[in-house]
Structure 1
Amino acid sequence: MSVAGLCELCESESVEDGCDRCSRLVCAHHYDEPTGLCTLCLSELGDGDSGGSDRNDGREKGYPDGVDEYRF
């Protein structure tokens, strides 16, 4: 992605990419390439491991396969 301007998180470095979740334009320091997310969205989702592909579908919380957690 070719964009120009300042990072929306630190406002000091030039923009390298955009977050796939919130569309913020961020610098390379605030962009996690494996997940396609900015560091703010990554922290909101609680994904400390930036692997992204090893999601366990609720098993880490002790739920059986196929059971998700819903919040209303």
Structure 2
Amino acid sequence: MSVAGRCEICGTGEIEDGCDRCGQLVCSDHFDESTGLCTECLAEFGEAPERGRDGYPDGVDEHRF
């Protein structure tokens, strides 16, 4: 699926697909083809998508309480 516009997560990448769970339109960096989910939904499920430069999934921040 190719749609004109910007990724709803990073705002910079070109939209490549939509998340099957939440429906966000995301770029290839924020979409996992094997599950059909965006990186935000993968993080909620505890899945381990491809890691970015900082060791965390791209688009996902670490929160400590």
Structure 1 and Structure 2 fold alike (TM over 0.5): yes
The separation in 2 between residues aligned to 1:37 and 1:25, in whole angstroms, is: 10
Query: 1:2: Cα distance to partner?
Result: 2.5
Structure 1: state its 5+ residue gaps. Answer: 51-72
The separation in 1 between residues aligned to 2:49 and 2:33, in whole angstroms, is: 12
Q: Deviations over 1:3-60 (max 9, x none)?
A: 110000000011000000000000000000000000000001111268xxxxxxxxxx
With a CA cutoff of 8 Å and minimum separation of 6, indicate the structure with the bigger relative contact order: 2
Give the % identical residues. Answer: 60
**Does residue 48 of structure 1 match 2:25?**
no
Task: Count how many residue pairs are aligned between Structure 1 and Structure 2.
Answer: 50
The separation in 1 between residues aligned to 2:13 and 2:39, in whole angstroms, is: 15
Q: Which protein is bigger by CA-based radius of gyration?
A: 1
Q: Deviating runs (4+, > 6 A) in structure 1?
A: none
Aligned to 2:42, what secondary structure does the other structure show? helix
Query: How large is the RMSD of aligned CA atoms in angstroms?
Result: 1.5
* TM-score normalised per structure 2: 0.71
Aligned to 1:11, what secondary structure does the other structure show? coil
